[in-house]
């Protein structure tokens, strides 16, 4: 392994700011050579390198071996500039579903992902990898942002019951023929929408049995009980593209455990999401007449306490934002010992609650993204 940072940087494959993707042969070679330098990675033999380049010349593509895929997924996590949870990057379960070729098969593998990763609350970081895209970039797609999310129903006055972030997707599901529960609530699980290249999307039932949910209550008063708040235990992001060695996987749902602020400071608190702070403040009997009473800040802290305490009490793994920041710092130190630079997005890594208390607050990060990685892709709808 090279200890010269300049050399180490050069043989990584940059993804940010490239107008055109590199030729596949070059991306493949860079990836296989990257593996060579990693302790604990499968080290491709010269014969494997020749075989891949021959395969690309002959067929225009190649496929990753299972050990390459496994390590590639872990590298994609390690390279994820928005993720504060990367200390755990070597502990990722990779479920190989590249041979699932029907919509039903893909749906079944999604349900399996939910069961495997949820693990009765002892959450295991997991990614399920479906078939790669063809040379035109077409492959299987999961249209949901996450496998378990709550519907956002628009009414005539353009108000939303449920999660406003899912209002467009909910409209789409209804259009595709989804029949929501007779009595609609703010926490109805959405169906799963799957498409294969060149085919119409197909709708599958909400993963009710497979989705563990947690009721949210305040630890020292019953003041939040009548809001009947709940959230899913496992966030499975299903709309990003996984890229490894020039191969693109447009369906590769991945999940870890939650940090409490994702739910308490964003999903529940954002004005364009569940917007619960005014309601919570009222129940806590805070003075909401002026912003200068800091009622929003106080309600936010209590809401986050409620989320953390509720998850912890029922034994669903969750990390608080202080521990998460500390773990990222540990990750940075381990990486630096190995002569690798940690890139990051400061605006994503700083928790949305008590930002300046985070151990990461006074640090700076280079936001450049490298391959392998999880990348945004165009919405199919």
Catalytic residue IDs: 83, 86, 257, 262
Nearer to ligand ARG, 245 or 264 (CB): 264
Give the residue carrying structure tokens 């077409």.
138
Nearer to ligand ARG, 130 or 257 (CB): 257
DSSP E strands in the chain: the ranges are 13-14, 93-96, 126-129, 141-142, 152-154, 160-162, 192-195, 202-204, 213-215, 230-232, 236-237, 241-244, 247-249, 254-255, 258-259, 318-319, 370-371, 373-375
**CA 350 to CA 348: how far, in whole Å?**
6
Closest CA to 84 of 261, 212, 283: 261
Nearer to ligand ARG, 42 or 235 (CB): 235
- Smallest distance, ligand ARG to C-beta of residue 126, A: 10
Query: Is the CB of residue 230 less than 8 Å from the CB of residue 213?
Result: yes
Query: Is the CB of residue 320 less than 8 Å from the CB of residue 285?
Result: no
Number of helices and strands in the chain (H, E): 11, 18
DSSP string, 30-96: HHHHHHHTSTTS----HHHHHHHHHHHHHHS-----HHHHHHHHHHHHHT-TT-TTGGGTT--EEEE
Other Cβ atoms within 10 Å of 58 Cβ, number: 9
**CA 61 to CA 25: how far, in whole Å?**
9
- Smallest distance, ligand ARG to C-beta of residue 171, A: 20
Nearer to ligand ARG, 196 or 303 (CB): 303
- Smallest distance, ligand ARG to C-beta of residue 234, A: 9
DSSP H or E run through 5: helix 5-10
- Smallest distance, ligand ARG to C-beta of residue 43, A: 30
For the chain, what is the radius of gyration of the CA atoms? 22
Nearer to ligand ARG, 214 or 263 (CB): 263
Nearer to ligand ARG, 32 or 259 (CB): 259
CB-neighbour burial class of residue 12 (10 A; exposed 0-12, middle 13-18, buried 19+) = middle
- Smallest distance, ligand ARG to C-beta of residue 233, A: 11
- Smallest distance, ligand ARG to C-beta of residue 272, A: 14
Nearer to ligand ARG, 140 or 235 (CB): 235
Tell me which residues touch ligand ARG (CB under 6 A): 235, 237, 255-256, 258-259, 262-263, 267
Closest CA to 373 of 331, 336, 343: 343
Give the residue carrying structure tokens 């496994």.
70
Closest CA to 265 of 274, 257, 253, 256: 274
**CA 194 to CA 253: how far, in whole Å?**
12
Please, which residues bridge with residue 249 across strands? 242
- Smallest distance, ligand ARG to C-beta of residue 262, A: 4
- Smallest distance, ligand ARG to C-beta of residue 375, A: 15
Nearer to ligand ARG, 56 or 319 (CB): 319
């Amino acid at each position: 392994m090279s200890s010269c940072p300049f050399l180490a940087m050069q043989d990584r494959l940059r993804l940010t700011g490239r107008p055109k993707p590199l030729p596949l042969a070059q991306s493949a070679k860079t990836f296989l050579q990257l593996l060579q330098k990693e302790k604990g990675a499968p080290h491709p033999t010269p014969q494997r390198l020749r075989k891949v380049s021959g395969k690309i010349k002959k067929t225009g593509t190649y496929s990753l071996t299972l050990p390459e895929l496994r390590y590639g997924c872990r590298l994609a996590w390690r390279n994820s500039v928005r993720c504060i949870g990367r200390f755990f990057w070597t502990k990722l379960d990779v479920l190989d579903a590249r041979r699932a070729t029907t919509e039903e098969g893909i749906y079944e593998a999604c349900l399996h992902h939910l069961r495997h990763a949820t693990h009765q609350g002892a959450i295991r970081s997991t990614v399920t990898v479906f078939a790669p895209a063809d040379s035109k970039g077409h492959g299987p797609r999961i249209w949901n942002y996450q496998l378990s999310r709550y519907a956002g129903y628009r009414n005539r006055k353009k108000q939303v019951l449920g999660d406003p972030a899912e209002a467009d997707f909910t409209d789409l599901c209804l259009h595709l023929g989804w029949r929501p529960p007779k009595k609609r609530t703010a926490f109805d699980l959405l169906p799963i929408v799957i498409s294969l290249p060149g085919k119409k999307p197909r709708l599958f039932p909400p993963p009710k049995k497979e989705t563990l949910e947690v009721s949210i209550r305040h630890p020292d008063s019953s003041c939040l009980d009548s809001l009947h708040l709940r959230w899913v235990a496992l966030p499975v992001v299903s709309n990003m593209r996984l890229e490894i060695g020039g191969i693109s996987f447009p369906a590769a749902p991945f999940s870890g455990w939650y940090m409490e602020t994702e739910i308490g400071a964003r999903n529940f608190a954002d004005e364009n999401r569940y917007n619960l702070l005014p309601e919570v403040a009222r129940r806590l009997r805070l003075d909401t007449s002026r912003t200068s009473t800091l009622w929003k800040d106080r309600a936010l802290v209590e809401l986050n306490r409620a989320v953390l305490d509720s998850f912890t009490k029922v034994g669903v793994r969750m990390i608080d934002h202080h521990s998460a920041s500390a773990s990222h710092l540990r990750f940075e130190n381990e990486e630096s010992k190995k002569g690798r630079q940690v890139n990051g997005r400061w605006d994503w890594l700083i928790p949305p609650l008590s930002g300046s208390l985070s151990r990461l607050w006074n640090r700076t990060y280079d936001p450049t993204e490298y391959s392998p990685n999880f990348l945004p892709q165009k919405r199919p709808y």
